[in-house]
A and B are shown apart, each in its own frame.
Chain A
Amino acid sequence: MLLTITTTARPATDLGRLLRKHPDRVQSFEQSFGTAWVFYPEAGEDRCTAALLLEVDAARLARAHARASGDATLKQYVNDRPYAASSLLAVALGKVFSTARSGVSDERPELAASALPLEVALPAVPCKGGPDLVRDLFAPLGWEVEAEAVPLPGFDADSRHVRVRLRGEVRLADALSQLYVLLPVLDDAKHYWVDIGEVDKLVRSGGDWLAAHPRRGLIARRYLAHRRSYERAAFARLAEVAEAGDEDESPVEEEAGEPGEGSLPLHRIRIGAVLDALAASGAASVLDLGCGSGKLLDALLDDPRYTRITGADVSSRALDQAERALRLDRMPERRRRRLELIQGSVVYRDKRFAGYDAAVLMEVIEHLDPGRLPAMERVVFGAARPRTVVVTTPNAEYNARYGLAGHELRHADHRFEWDRARFAAWAEGVAARHGYRVRFEGVGAADPDAGAPTQMGVFDRD
């Protein structure tokens, strides 16, 4: 809600001219989500400070949020937006100081073009990534960064808010556009709809400093609220600005991504292994249980040997995603006819699961509470009984290679991760109880001791 910018360049009150806001006035600007105030707590020759204070109208914000997202959670009503220097503040800053941000000044063109001694203070910046990320983002831009986590009242822990003070010799326009872009990046929460116009905005505001920023991959991704397609467009635009090659960004940082080998991520390798197992089984009809967004379905559709492909997921949102990702509405009729998407659960017996040559449980079982595994076993191996069942799951022994401690899991929703012995014991039990044979394979580059990152069990019966 609060940002102060101070300069010590004499005469410091010229800050008012650059910002086009008179130091002796208190001005207010109506925003869609509240009122932005600009005033100067100090305005001397040696030192002048402009304050931007945003009074958020929580009720208006909640209504806008409800319209945009359609979800109704308490968070929509009780949140940090009225207090934090969030993307809302960035938007207000962008509007209130739009001329200054563009670097144009009729009155003081040289001043606008030159680096000034500046100090920026933000008492509460919501930041996913903590003080370190604040330093990572601002230090390369020439700022001396002071960043300190705000403690959580009542808990022996830090909040996601950081008190930030930046000092440096920076062009005012750059400082403003850096804040405009980086505050939402630190916040990493969408509050407004990102549209394709945002891509242009990023390129315009980012300009030179963004193209050269060592963390520009993360900046683009977060700024565009993880919208991959826009991100690619943004990168393409950036490449026009500067001939910068793609940096190597660690995927582990953002998603619970597991790196694979070379350029091929592990999930692609895993799909390849599942496809090989299915091909070897001679299956023509395949049921993908827990199909998620449909990556395996897409690969199955590309292979004409699979004449009947069904994706089942318990989450209707996942099925919607699959529908979009597979472009179901535009799929040619012949391809479309081979595919079916159904909502179903592996812990409820389901007649629709019967009659397939093969079923796949790719990275599914670890999302079930161990107590529900017997129910899954009866539904898949007992009732549906396809000739072949392919099960993949993480190999916990490999977790150390990801830098995970003994008890840590790869994904927040994993209920367990098994080592190879545990998986084998379970799989052999299942096979014995239901008349299957099972063989095991590692998936991904194997470590001599820990084995492969993913383990796969292929069950078949006569």
Chain B
Amino acid sequence: MTDDAPVVSVPELSLVLLVGVSGSGKSTFAARHFKPTQVVSSDYCRGLVADDETDQSATPEAFALLNHIVGTRLRLGRLTVVDATNVQAHARAQLVDLAKRHNVLVDAIVLDVEPETAVERNRARADRDFGEAVVRRHHRDLKRGLKRMAKEGFRRVHRLEGAARIEAARVVTEKSWNDRTEETGPFDLIGDVHGCRAELEALLGELGWEIARDAQGRAAGAAHPEGRTAVFVGDLVDRGPDTPGVLRLVMGMVEAGNALCVQGNHEHKLVKALDGRKVRVAHGLAESLEQLGAEDEAFRGRARAFMDGLRSHYLLDGGRLVVAHAGLKEEFHGRASGKVRSFALYGDTTGETDEYGLPVRLPWAEDYRGEAAVVYGHTPVLEPEWVNNTICLDTGCCFGGKLTALRYPERDLVAVKAEREWYAPARPLGPAVPDRDPATLDVTDVAGDRHLATGLVGTVKVTAEHAAAALEVMSRFAEDPRRLLYLPPTMAPVDASDADGYLEHPAQAFDQYRGRAERVVCQEKHMGSRAVALVCRDAGTARRRFGLDAAPWGALVTRTGRAFFQDEALTGALLDRVAAAAGAAGLWERLDTDWMLLDCELLPWSAKARDLIEDQFAGVAAAGLAALPAAAAVLEAAAARGLDVAALAERTASRHANIAKFAAAYQRYCWPTDGLDGVRLAPFQVLATEGRNRADHRHDEHLALADALVAADGSGLLLETRRRFVALGTADEAAAVQWWLDLCAAGGEGMVVKPVLEDRPRLQPGLKVRGREYLRIIYGADYTDPERLAGLRQRRLQHKRSQALREYALGVAGLDLVAQRAPLWQVHQYVFAVLALESEPVDPRL
């Protein structure tokens, strides 16, 4: 490389200002070295607002637009190049300020050409009619400002002198110091050590590290046989008995490439103190200074350089993991500024204000919505706890607590106890976020158009309109989000049957699954109300795992997320019975869990829907059974007079018979209940347990678990779900049809046909085949009239099927999050989305 080929290196994420007079070749330079979309030009903005790139009267508006575009790009983390003359300091200052506000670095590239060259170039261009004087004045401004530019807040000012060097220059980008995304671990992340060398050695031993010792037998490095990388969250020093020993060990690990370390506030202050700057000697700094005083000068120098060179935070594992001493909010990840550094070292206690000018009060972790896991320390806690994908590992070792490590990606916690209290804490250790209320969610978690990822059907869109409807239902009627981890998807019916007198028939269900599954299960459809039960082994589980702070210690919710019973005691009593059954059946141990989410049907229908049944169905029957006999009587009298009313009388008689069947149909699903007396719960699937989403198509297993619960229930609450497995294409089909006819003849609602599969293809999870008489209460008493039936067979199922599949996909994705202990707001997004999809207008009879 010669002097004729200068290299301009700019940060990957930065704002780059091109500085040069009109005609210095900025646009040509930008076009050669950057993508067109990375370059924002003042001329272009002038054209956008004024239809004329040279209209100087439009300059203020053009710059307002330019600033907006630049600000938006920087907020989104995109390298941005400003192509404007930028020869005056105040013009540059605005842009530097914009970069700082978005916590990105800013470089200047000065294109310094002779004014003659610039003037010459401008003459060659028809649209540039500036006088030579303007160019010369700008050139003077530039020359005068060049010296001071270094102090204007640029990371670097790249000056390219002369057209030849500008022509020859190459531009390269450099990665941010924070960016270690190529490091994929596995990692052992270690909390605040604070001079506790012995505990650190013990913890490393526990984690399987092999410690290397120097001639004096002191730990001077460590390596992991499986090639793990240690990441220290900072605050290695102060308070504890052996700060030099900790530094020696960690420096050795970092220098050998076996560890990374971010700076803590204690390192920051210790460096200042070692530099002889004025600091208040408190919080264990005295101990460090004293201990380091006993070391030789060379060690002190090495330690100082090490601590001073530590970064404020690291992005690791492709950006999926962020480590900062005091944590870091998402907008600061990978950014660089004093604000970012201060947050990373000291946390959100800098008197910052939010966009409304109010002090930020909520702990940052509670607001955190980022995809990346944030691991931090700084604030001593009793137990590390994941809060919105963040975790604090400072468990107060120096205060006699413990030293904690997080294995990543395993997410296991490993800790060793402190040998003793080395330093008296200023206040007792508390939880990570003292007044955390995980049930408080943010409206931006759910409102507006949303696209949610699902494994089954890809992205599911929720429109703002449906989200608005769901917001109302969720706010006014639904259970606390902590108790609302899943909403069952709607279920589509089978294709219409062509069998005489039938709208739905099992034959179509078998046909629909033929070729996609070898086996299906025909499952009795209990005529009650769908219920989802969150059953915890005990109150402690409910508190720990789901953050519940009041009874009932679990939940029983309807398909729209409402609590089944107003009376919390009743819910509690019901859940206790289910938990007892699970205990008696040995399910807690068998499933290795302390809680389970159950998909059930709660009977009788009248227990939840009595008002609806009275108002809707019984009211209709009352009117029909009162009016039709009266009509028959007057028709009979008219006929006796010789009037021809035969056809009308016949229709009336048929309608009378139909309404009587209608009345019989709904009455089968009603019986009186008192408290839990008379209430039955029929579980048919365990949806999720600790660490496991079970919402798959293994219905033989699901029903076996349900059977185990029912068998172990001594209270008479739980009810079996009858079923028949069918090998498609065999005589099983005909037998199942007969079974269905028998079920319906005995007053059953019908059945649900589900595929029995090992994998989880994109497939309707079930199809309902409702009984002929039951359908009267859905389609009206007279729906079996051949004319009506012919019309109903034309029903359109496409939307209902699509809705069922999308809701199912959302439900499964949500259960994945529940099983992974994802933050509540993420789980809630999926639950909310199912509710939102339910507000799509679909024929309610399907």
Contact = CB atoms under 8 A, between A and B. Distances in A.
A355 interface: yes
B619 interface: yes
Interface stretch (A135-143, A149-157, A210-218, A328-336): A149-157
A161 interface: yes
A350 B666 CA distance: 45
Which of A77, A154, A314 has the most chain B CB atoms inside 10 A of its CB? A154
B471 A348 contact: yes
B476 interface: yes
Interface string A1-43: 1101000000000000000000011100000000001011111
Interface string B655-677: 10001000100110010000000
Contacts of A341: none
A450 interface: no
Contact of A351 (B356, B614, B778): B356
Contacts of B474: 345
Interface residues of B, number: 76
Interface string A349-390: 111101100000000000111011011001100110100000
A443 interface: no
Nearest to B644: A26
Interface in A141-176: 150-155, 157, 159-161, 163
B624 interface: yes
Most chain A C-beta atoms within 10 Å of own C-beta, residue among B468, B550, B622, B670: B622
Contact of B670 (A39, A43, A73, A154): A154
A67 interface: no
Interface stretch (A51-59, A105-113, A264-272, A453-461): A51-59
Contacts of A316: 468-469, 472
Interface string A57-96: 0110000000000001111011110111100000000000
Contacts of B667: 153-154
A39 B354 contact: no
A457 B141 CA distance: 64
B845 interface: yes
B622 A151 contact: yes
Contacts of A153: 618, 621-622, 625, 663, 667
B440 interface: yes
A161 B442 contact: no
A314 B628 CA distance: 45
Contact of A53 (B469, B550, B621, B634): B634
A331 to B, nearest CB: 23
B446 to A, nearest CB: 7
B843 to A, nearest CB: 7
Contacts of B446: 348
Contacts of A58: 780, 782
Given A83-B624, A163-B626, A315-B472, A348 B619 contact: no
Contact of A348 (B443, B635, B655, B778): B443
A126 interface: yes
Given A55-B651, A154-B663, A163-B626, A348 B475 contact: yes
B778 A126 contact: no
Contact of B614 (A152, A367, A369): A152
A128 B667 CA distance: 24
A346 interface: yes
Contacts of B845: 74, 77
Most chain A CB atoms below 10 A, which of B469, B550, B563, B623: B623
B426 interface: no
B437 A374 contact: yes
A151 B626 CA distance: 9
Interface string B450-490: 00000000000000000011011011100110000000000
B171 interface: no
B279 interface: no
Contacts of B440: 347-349, 375, 378-379, 382-383
A349 B618 contact: no
B471 A161 contact: no
B620 A43 contact: no
Contact of B637 (A42, A72, A151, A350): A42
A83 B623 contact: yes
A84 B638 CA distance: 21
Contacts of A379: 440
B627 A83 contact: yes
B631 A355 contact: no
A40 B641 contact: yes
A26 B471 contact: no
A163 B439 CA distance: 52
B443 A2 contact: no
Contacts of A355: 356-358
A343 B475 CA distance: 12
Contact of A385 (B357, B358, B476, B655): B358
B791 A161 contact: no
B69 interface: no
Q: Is the interface of A mostly helix, strand, loop or mixed?
A: mixed
Interface string B520-550: 0000000000000000000000000000001
Contacts of B842: 72
B670 A155 contact: yes
B622 A124 contact: yes
B627 A124 contact: yes
A367 B472 CA distance: 12
Given A72-B843, A382-B361, A150 B622 contact: yes
A405 B721 CA distance: 43
A344 interface: yes
B281 interface: no
B471 A152 contact: no
B616 interface: yes
A351 B354 contact: yes
Contact of B630 (A2, A74, A345, A378): A2
B33 interface: no
Interface in B343-384: 354-358, 361-362
Contact of B358 (A2, A25, A157, A354): A354
Contact of A42 (B641, B655, B670): B641
B529 to A, nearest CB: 14
Nearest to A1: B627
B725 interface: no
Interface string A171-199: 00000000000000000000000000000
A41 B632 CA distance: 11
Contact of A78 (B362, B439, B616, B841): B616
A42 B641 CA distance: 7
Contacts of B619: 80, 152, 159-161
A126 B841 CA distance: 29
Interface centre among A78, A155, A374, A383 (most CB of B within 10 A): A78
29 contacts: A25-B643, A26-B644, A53-B634, A55-B651, A74-B844, A78-B778, A79-B616, A80-B623, A80-B624, A123-B627, A151-B622, A161-B619, A163-B626, A314-B476, A345-B475, A346-B475, A347-B475, A348-B445, A348-B475, A351-B356, A369-B563, A371-B550, A372-B480, A375-B439, A379-B440, A382-B361, A382-B362, A385-B358, A413-B476
Q: Kindly list the 5 A-B residue pairs having the minimum CB-CB distance in the complex, ordered from nearest.
A: A41-B637, A159-B622, A123-B630, A154-B667, A83-B623
Given A2-B630, A354-B356, 18 more contacts: A26-B645, A37-B648, A41-B638, A58-B780, A72-B842, A75-B616, A77-B778, A78-B617, A80-B624, A152-B621, A155-B618, A159-B618, A161-B619, A314-B475, A314-B476, A344-B443, A348-B447, A382-B362
Interface of B: 354-358, 361-362, 437, 439-447, 468-469, 471-472, 474-476, 479-480, 550, 563, 614-631, 633-638, 641, 643-645, 648, 651, 655, 659, 663, 666-667, 670, 777-780, 782, 788, 791, 841-845
Interface of A: 1-2, 4, 24-26, 37, 39-43, 49, 51, 53, 55, 58-59, 72-75, 77-80, 82-85, 121, 123-124, 126, 150-155, 157, 159-161, 163, 314-316, 343-352, 354-355, 367-369, 371-372, 374-375, 378-379, 382-383, 385, 413
